[in-house]
Structures are given as C-alpha cells and as structure tokens.
Amino acid sequence: MKLNNPKKILIIRFSSLGDVLLTTPLLRILKNKYPKTEIDYLVKTSFSDAVKLNPNIKNVVSWQTEEEFHLAIIKLKNAKYDYVIDLQNNFRSKKIVSKLGKNSFCFKKPNIKKFLLVNFKLNLLKNEKSIPQRYVEVIPELKIDEKGLELFLPEENKTQIFEDKPIIGLAPGAFHFTKRWPIDFYAEVGNKLTNEGFKIVILGGKSDREICNLLSIKIDRSIDLSNDNKLFETASNMKKCKLVICNDSGLMHTATAVGTPVIAIFGSTVKEFGFVPFGVKNLIIENNNLSCRPCSHIGKSTCKKKHFNCMNQIFPNLVYKKTIQLLSSL
C-alpha cells in the first residue's frame, strides 16, 4: 500500500524521549513530499516537548492518564484521518488503529531477532538499518535524506552556559542501571578534560539529579545543569557544547537532535538494535569481548553476572582518547 493524496495523517509514537526524537526524520520527509498534508502526532504528555514545536506537525495530541487516553481516542475519531502510521506497535496503539478504522502503516519490530541475539547470541541484526531509516521506510515510497534528527526550541529559551572556554557536556544518566557508565569513570575523564582547558557541564533530568550532583562534586570547577525534565533547557545547553559524552539514553538522542557530536558508551545494549546516534559525528564505545552481551535490548536494573564488565572494562583512558580523537575531527 502507498499513500494516495493524503489530506490528514496521524502518527502514533507514545514514548520514550529518544524514540520520539527518532521519528523526526520521517516527519520532515513526509511533509516535504506531501506539503499540503496535515500531520497530527499522538504522544504521551511526558514526552510531548520533543515534537511540540515541530513545524511539520499540525496538532500534537497528548495523554498521560487512562481518562485522557479515552478522551484522546474520541478526539482522534472526530478528526477523520486518511491514514494512520503506527510507530509504537503495541496493544494500545493497535487499539487506536482499530477504533479509527483507517488505512494504516505499522512499524515492524524485529522482536524475534532481538530475542535470538539477547538469549542465544545469534546475531541476525548485523545488516539492520538504524531506527530512523526504518521508521521512514514504513512508507514504501519514502527514502531517508541526508539530515539528522530535529528538536525545535522556543526562541526565548536561553542557555545557562556563559563560558569563554570550549564546553564538554557529560550526561551520566540512563533509565536502567546497566546502561550507566560508572560515575568515577566519568569523573576521571571530566577532570582530564578540565586540565586540558575545557569547561565541563553535567546534564540530566529529574531521575539523574543525584548522580549529576555527585559527579559535579567529583569534577573540579564543573557546573551541574541537571533539572526536573526540562527538555528545552537541557537541549539549549547541549547546543553550546562542542561534544557530549553520554550513555545509550534519551539524552544521547537529544544531543544529536540539536546537532551536537557525541561519544556514546554502550553497556548491556548494542548498536545492532538500531538506537544509535544519528546524523551527527559520533563514536560508539562498547566492550565486544563479552559472551553475556547484550543481556537485554532495553537495559536492566542489575548485572546478573555481578561483574558488570560491559561497563567496568571500558576504562576512562580509552574514553578520554576517543574524545580527543573526535574533537580533533570537528
């Protein structure tokens, strides 16, 4: 099936921050091909800032509670869409598609391949494209362009950084423990960069406040800019950075969405899952010498092997060298 003169399209991606940002190339390419088409976007309220100001979207429909979800369905049924593009592909999104009764396109998740890689280390994902490319190819006639992710910021949003030194951002957080590089390792790299004349700023959301505060204490003259999930504020600060060092997290995608190069440290997850820095200069650092990796496609709260070598064996000196290497190429 192809799009046939679409007047109104609904795109569904509820969560999370990174996943929503990874849909922005599709939004841009879709709008460029069909400039007169109205595109609406259904997303959880907690992640709506990622697309709130995107000019390719006509309306952002958001929900957080069950009551709001049912009200959203009523609103969507009245909108009379020609097509629905379901990038979430779960029970809830399928329920919406069935309620709307429209022609739909659905993102096919390689769940079996992910299961085989995690549980049997059979890697059938080697040749899989990145998630943004696969989102775009949900619509057969669309092709990925040369641009990256996009996050549009309010004009009045000001950065909190007023430094004449080159700035390096550190984003030590991630939702799952096994995706977090150790704080002491971040601190060692941060202090080395400080001694080289860089200013270190520490970035994170509400759940990262504790580790960001701890890291700021460990890095001389660093600035803790973590906040209560103020995406626009964090993104504005990231735009001022020469480079961001981070884990496989939503803030990794936030940095790329504002055009900032990244050093991404992957622990229990692997780049074959497709959630990689997209559209900017980047280096992914990972330990490929472990038989237990990946142990999950989303991360875990603990290392079941107890050694956590996927992160503990990525030493600060390597990350520092890779950071200098990437900086020299900018």
Model confidence pLDDT, tens digit, residues 258-299: 999 999 999 999 999 999 999 999 999 999 999 999 999 999
Whether 36 and 87 map to the same domain: the answer is yes
pLDDT band at residue 134 under the 50/70/90 scheme: very high
Q: Are residues 191 and 54 in the same domain?
A: no
Q: Are 39 and 32 in contact (CB under 8 A)?
A: no
Same domain, 125 and 172: no
The answer to whether 169 and 245 have CB atoms below 8 angstroms apart is yes
DSSP 22: T
pTM: 0.96
% of the chain exceeding 90 in pLDDT:
95
One domain for residues 126 and 256: no
Tell me the CATH number at 115: 3.40.50.2000
Cross-strand bridge partners of residue 223: 201
DSSP-assigned letters across all residues of 114-152 = HHHHHHH-----TTPPPHHHHHHTTSTT----S------
Structural domain span for residue 80 = 8-136
Q: What is the CA radius of gyration of the chain?
A: 20
Short-list 82, 81, 107, CA closest to 93: 107
Burial string for 277-316 (b: 16+ CB within 10 Å, else e) reads bbbbebbbbbbeeeeebbbbbbbeeebeeeebbbbeebeb
pLDDT in tens, 154-211: 987 767 676 779 999 999 999 999 999 999 999 999 999 999 999 999 999 999 999 9
Do 89 and 109 form a contact (C-beta atoms < 8 A)? yes
Q: What is the pLDDT of residues 204-246, one digit of tens each?
A: 999 999 999 999 999 999 999 999 999 999 999 999 999 999 9
Average pLDDT over residues 19-34: 98
Q: Do 274 and 152 form a contact (C-beta atoms < 8 A)?
A: no
Which pLDDT tens digit goes with each residue over 91-100?
999 999 999 9
Asked if the structure places residue 151 within a domain, the reply is no
The predicted-structure confidence for 299-328, as pLDDT tens digits, reads as follows 999 999 999 999 999 999 999 999 999 999
What pLDDT, on a 0 to 100 scale, did the predictor assign at position 70? 94
- Do 60 and 6 contact (CB within 8 A), yes or no? no
Looking at the domain assignment, is residue 36 inside a domain?
yes
Q: Report the distance separating Cα 122 and Cα 82, nearest Å.
A: 40
Q: How many folded domains does the chain comprise?
A: 2
Cite the beta strand spans of 186-272 per DSSP E.
Answer: 199-202, 223-224, 243-247, 262-266
Tell me the mean pLDDT in the region 111-124: 97
